[in-house]
Structure 1
Amino acid sequence: MYSVGMSTPERLISATRDLLWERGYVGTSPRAIQQLAGAGQGSMYHHFRGKPELALAAIRRTADEMRGTAGRVLDGPGTAYERIAAYLLRERDVMKGCPVGRLTMDPEVMADGTLRAPVDETLGWLRDRLTEIVREGTAGGGLRPGLDPSGTAAAVVATVQGGYVIARATGSPAAFDAAVGGLLALLAPDDDRAPEA
């Protein structure tokens, strides 16, 4: 499953990421990690002190990947509205949900401050970055005037995370798409809105 050129620690981290995604923390046993990674018990414990340390490495990797993906879109070209729209409309596997957001549903991860920290930091980073973009867009044009930057940023994050949940509950990505479309209509400056019938 993993590249032949991957080091043992990389295979262990990748396996843990996949298992956390599919099974959650409790369902991710050291044995399952070792089997998926093609690594022995001695090899696992040579590189990591145990499951918590390996899970933390996997969560950090997932969080870093999410920041990189979101950052490339949010820091890209275009107006504030265009960059937020690009973030909301980017290609994603809606039915699988957000790999970082899903960790908030895992009671063991949320109960452990060390495991929870990368999740909280990443969602905080996303809200902060969106707040800056909304502030820029309301000051210089490109977004509907009068928007509260931090409240709007929180709404963008909540729309994405909530959209994943509703899509999974209904078994259709249409719910996610509807939420994103509704939010974009609310954010658009008045001159970009469709005229009312």
Structure 2
Amino acid sequence: MAKRQDDARERLIEGTSQLLWERGYVGVSPAAILRRSGVGQGSMYHHFQGKADLVLAAERRSAELMQQELTAVLTAPGSALDRIAAYLLRERDALRGCRVGRLVADPEVVVSDELREPVRETFALLHRLLVRVIEEGRAAGEFAPALDAEETASTLAAVIQGGYALARAEQSVEPYERAVRGALALLRASAPDAG
């Protein structure tokens, strides 16, 4: 019995996570969650207090998975440029956008500190990891000493999130890919021996 309940809880979280990515908070109804997860209404209210509680669990799951991916890519062996390139070039669905970042476009999420927190935590981790890699790259002579790690980390995160917006606006991955290539070209140009 406990296994079936755990399975229903997991299916609710996964179904809600997928719907959030596709439709955002406003577009996710309890009926859609139940259809997507294949569980009954009783299971939903057995495990969660309501839509906001379930959405928060789904957000936390998506954020946790993304944080694991970011950590794996940005702490892997290799040069700083290689790790940043691996982050920028990792496989993504540019037309769907960021599973976590897309949530801040949703007015219901933006006004709720609790619903916004998993997104904030994920971007804070990304920023810390990028700053560390950029600082390591400067120390190793890969990047110019004057390259500001904090500002460059924010720029790289903005390239990805902005690239998603450009791709969605055009319904083409090309604007996203151009933004990524441009960011990498700027990093390579900042190398002390690039001039």
Short-chain TM bin = over 0.9
- TM-score with structure 2 length normalisation? 0.92
Counterpart position of 1:22? 22
Cα contact 2:135–2:149 (8 A) shared by 1: yes
1:170 aligns with 2:170: yes
Give the Cα–Cα distance (whole angstroms) in 2 for the partners of residues 56 and 123 of structure 1: 17
Contact 1:138 1:144 in 2 (8 A): yes
Structure 2 unaligned regions, length at least 5: none
Match of 1:139 in 2: 139
Distance 1:32 1:184 in 2: 40
Contact kept in structure 2, 1:138 and 1:145, CA below 8 Å: yes
Coordinate RMSD, CA, aligned: 1.7
Match of 1:159 in 2: 159
Structure 1 gap segments, 5+ residues each: none
- Alpha carbons 2:81, 2:137 under 8 Å: kept: yes
Residue pairs, 1:43-192, within 5 angstroms: 43-188=43-188, 189-191=191-193
Amino acid at match of 1:127: H
How many equivalent residue pairs?
Answer: 190
CA distance in structure 2 between the aligned counterparts of 1:141 and 1:94, rounded to whole angstroms: 32
Map Cα deviations across residues 49-84 of structure 1 (whole Å, 9 max, x no partner): 111110000000111111111111111111111100
Q: Secondary structure of 2:26's match? A: helix
Q: Is the 8 A contact 1:8 1:39 kept in 2?
A: yes
Deviation at 1:190, TM superposition (A): 4.1
Shift of 1:27: 1.6
Name 1:37's counterpart in structure 2. 37
Contact 2:101–2:161 at 8 Å: present in 1 too?
yes
1:18 deviates by: 1.1
Q: Secondary structure at the match of 1:27?
A: coil
CA distance in 2, matches of 1:177, 1:45: 42
Q: TM-score, normalised by structure 1?
A: 0.92
**Alpha-carbon distance between aligned partners in 2 of 1:53 and 1:125, rounded to the nearest angstrom:** 23
Name the amino acid aligned to 1:124: A
Deviation at 1:145, TM superposition (A): 3.0
Offset from partner CA, 1:143-192 (integer Å, 9 cap, x none): 2331101000000000010011101111211111111111111112143x
Distance in structure 1 (CA, Å) of the matches to 2:185 and 2:22: 34
Q: In the alignment, is the contact (CA less than 8 A) between 1:144 and 1:187 conserved in 2?
A: no
User: For the residues of structure 1 that align with 2:192 and 2:163, how far apart are their CA atoms?
Assistant: 25
